A and B are shown apart, each in its own frame.
Chain A
Amino acid sequence: MKRLWNLLISLEAGLVLLALVCIAMAAGSFGLKGEVAAAINAMPLFAWLAGFTLATTWWLWLTLVLLALLVLNTLCCSADTLIQRFSLKGVLAWLPPQLIHAGFLLIVLAHLQSAVWGFKGTIEIPEGAGFQLPDGVAVKVARIGAIFSPMGGDRPLGYKALLVTQETAGQGGVTISPNHPWFSNGYGVYIKHAEPGQPPMALLEIHREPGAAMALAGAVLFTIGNLLLLYTRSRARELALEVDGVL
């Protein structure tokens, strides 16, 4: 049991796993083209894994297994550090790396959540028509337009659409454009493209990323830990911590 625990908390195991994840992802990056590349971003990750053969997805399965082991290693290392080194006096020495670890773990969990329960859909719709979000909210695309540079030019910089729902009808609807989607109960409506014509057509995407909030929480924790680590590793702080016997 002791040997297993030592393996789980071992720095060497963490280093090897980090290297192997890098290699697995690098191998996979060269195969991400064509139909495979288009499909992986058009559906939640586990749907893609289930829909393609192992000959295509092996690198991602391998990455997931290695990441799971890395998560276990990170959890055990952090637990061991807290057991061994927890004290309020030396909080600045042990806390920053643990915050970074916690942020990393939350981000991995967020990815898992989105990979399993996420939703991605595409709809091509003419101006004046309506569609329904997966949660039942009815949306009408009242107007479709293009965004041009104030300096002129023939090519639009992006597209916009006026969406009207029962909720937004009172305020005249809501306009979506690049970087300005509309959210309803966790579903985001994004405009990707539009074509002029009679009637104009818009290509909309509907996304649900259930892990987004957790990923943001992880990013905040991670950033706080990172800033604290930079602060404690500055020359003056290192000297002060050495004098206090913390480092």
Chain B
Amino acid sequence: MQPLLLTFTVLCLFGAFNRWLTALGLAAGIGYLGMRGWSLGRLPLVGPHDTIAFFAVSLAAMGLATRLSRPLRSAAWFNAAVGITAGIFGGLSLLFPIRNMPMPAILDTLWFELHVVLAFFAYALFGVGAMVSGGWLAYRERVLMDIQFKIALAGWSFFSGSMVAGGIWGYYAWGTYWLWTPKELWTSILWLFYALLLHLRLKGAKWDALSAWLGILGFVVTLFTYLGVSLLMKSSHSF
């Protein structure tokens, strides 16, 4: 199975100049996740290896989907940014051991799976939004900020859905829809941060530069919420 993940990583990293190679890499990544899920009998969403691989494949998928928008169809820089970022995370997932443990009963519910899947789609969109923000800072094309807004809105919607699913899961699993842990606090920070970014759009084009920088900072907050809290802070709610 692992050669598929390696193929995904190599094609994303070194085929980043060509969207068809990235798409081929994405197919390999989806194939890897599918086979891993098949062998486990569940979605591969537990532990650093599985979640980082899922995140990497989500990044490639969301990047390619965003590439369908007209202004980005011929933007080689965007394809390169998506491919390289997805490839880096694909490579990172290979550094963590693969654990074939059975799913703990507390995680064995559709609400948990929905919670995690939606969160990773959101994280991936926030990453793609940061790349578009970087593109605006480099090229100053107004249409890029329109795309950035729509990506942020879609990502925020997935993230909100993830929080709702997580709340329902938490109510049945832990007895509360909310726990005061560093992970939950940073989840709220991320949600409020993107709420701020979306509201900033109402200020008009004069604020595009700040929006673009916040779009990039948002991905830093995303990575801290996902990886930083799990690796650096003690939280019962990690990986």
Asked whether, in the complex, the Cβ of B160 is within 8 Å of the Cβ of A222, the reply is yes
- For A19, what are the chain B residues with a Cβ–Cβ distance below 8 Å? 196
Q: Enumerate chain B residues within 8 angstroms of A181, measured Cβ to Cβ.
A: 172, 175
A223 touches B102 (CB 8 A): no
Q: Does A62 contact B (CB under 8 A)?
A: no
Contacts of B157 in A (CB 8 A): 226-227, 229-230
For residue B154, CB closer than 8 A to chain A, the reply is: yes
Collect the chain B residues with CB atoms within 8 Å of residue A223's CB.
160-161, 164
- Interface presence of A205 (CB below 8 A): yes
B89 an interface residue at 8 Å Cβ cutoff? no
- A157 engages B105 (CB within 8 Å): yes
Report how many A-B pairs have Cβ atoms within 8 Å: 118
Inter-chain contacts of B164 with A (CB < 8 A): 219, 222-223
B182 is an interface residue with CB less than 8 A from chain A = yes
- Which residue of B has the minimal Cβ distance to A211? B177
Please give, as numbers and ranges, the residues of chain B lying within 8 Å of A32 by CB-CB distance. Answer: 180-182, 185
A30, B103: Cβ atoms under 8 Å? no
Contact A212 B102 (CB under 8 A): no
Asked if A126 is an interface residue, CB under 8 A from chain B, the answer is no
Q: How many residues of A contact B (CB 8 A)?
A: 50
Closest Cβ neighbor of A59 among chain B residues: B185
Identify which of B72-80, B122-130, B198-206 touches chain A.
Answer: B198-206
**Considering only CB atoms, which chain A residue lies closest to B210 in the complex?**
A15
Judged by a CB distance under 8 angstroms, whether B188 is at the interface is: yes
Asked whether A179 lies within 8 Å of B105 as measured between CB atoms, the reply is yes
Q: A180 interface residue, CB < 8 Å from B?
A: yes
Are B189 and A25 in contact (CB-based, < 8 A)? yes
Q: Is the CB of A37 within 8 A of B109?
A: no
In the bound complex, CA of A89 to CA of B233 (Å) = 51
Residues 143-169 of A at the B interface (beta carbon under 8 Å): 147, 149, 151, 153, 157-158
The chain A residues found within 8 Å of chain B, CB to CB, are 11, 14-15, 18-19, 21-22, 25-26, 28-30, 32-33, 37, 40-41, 45, 111, 114, 118, 120, 147, 149, 151, 153, 157-158, 177-181, 188, 190, 205-207, 209, 212, 215-216, 219, 222-223, 226-227, 229-230, 233
Other than the known A151-B102, A209-B171, what 7 A-B pairs have Cβ atoms closer than 8 Å? A22-B193, A28-B185, A41-B180, A177-B105, A179-B169, A212-B171, A226-B160
